[in-house]
Amino acid sequence: MTGVHNHLAVRLPDRDYRDDVQLTTAANNALAGNVTVPAGVEATALEGDITLTGTVSYLTERAAAETAVAGLTGVRDVENVIEIGYVIDPVDVDLHVLEALGRSALVPDDSDVTTDTKDSVITLTGHVRTWAEHDAVLDAAWMAMGVTDVRDDLQVTGTQ
């Protein structure tokens, strides 16, 4: 087999149907009620499909917006076109990540992890001893403002 053609369509039961205006209102209320989603993120509905638009500073805010509307009654699909738009200074991002690593109990003080930031993409290099340490480093990088991608070039060595 070389491919799969998915022609499935989600059909909602009549009791779950909401017209576009009702669903748009419910989605925007869910966004407004979520403290993680910043003002300016908006939802529009078309035949049960929600489109999210706007600009956020963090990837976590983008994900929170999608989660806020995905479970609403009447939603068939969510298209998340929210942009991460924050002018970042690579030095600030690198410093933020290194400070977060310094606060982490999982990452030793003598860690050789380094960061390189270009166009809101962080590349992590160096050595970590455990997968828990590896995950702590990745989490710190993802929490930096304006980050759209993290490239993981870390090596899990078991020793430093």
- Three-state SS string over the chain comes to CCCCCCCCCCCCCHHHCCCHHHHHHHHHHHHHCCCCCCCCCEEEEECCEEEEECEECCHHHHHHHHHHHHCCCCCCEEEECCEECCCCCHHHHHHHHHHHHHHCCCCCCCCCCEEEEECCEEEEEEEECCHHHHHHHHHHHHCCCCCCEEEEEEEECCCC
Q: Largest Cα–Cα distance in the chain?
A: 61
What fold is seen in the domain 90-156?
A: Histidine-containing Protein; Chain: A; (3.30.1340)
Would the CATH topology of 14-84 be identical to that of 90-156?
Answer: yes
- Which residue do the tokens 């419910």 mark? 26
pTM for the model stands at 0.56
Spatial separation of the C-alpha atoms in residues 152 and 131, rounded to whole Å: 13
Ranges of the chain with pLDDT below 70: 1, 9-10, 12, 86-91, 100, 104-110, 146, 159-160
Say yes or no: domain 14-84 is CATH 3.30.70. no
Question: In the prediction, which pLDDT does 24 show?
Answer: 95
| Predicted pLDDT of residue 50 | 95
Query: CB count, 10 Å around CB of 113?
Result: 21
List the domain boundaries for the chain: 14-84, 90-156
Q: Under a CB-based contact definition with an 8 Å cutoff, are residues 77 and 141 in contact?
A: no
User: What pLDDT does residue 89 have?
Assistant: 64
125 and 153 in contact (C-beta within 8 Å)? yes
Compute the distance between CA of residue 7 and CA of residue 98 in angstroms, rounded to an integer: 47
pLDDT the model gives residue 159: 63
Which residue, among 121, 124, 123, has the nearest Cα to 111 in the 3D structure?
124
Check residue 136 and give its pLDDT: 83
Q: Nearest-CA neighbor of 116 among 102, 95, 136? A: 95
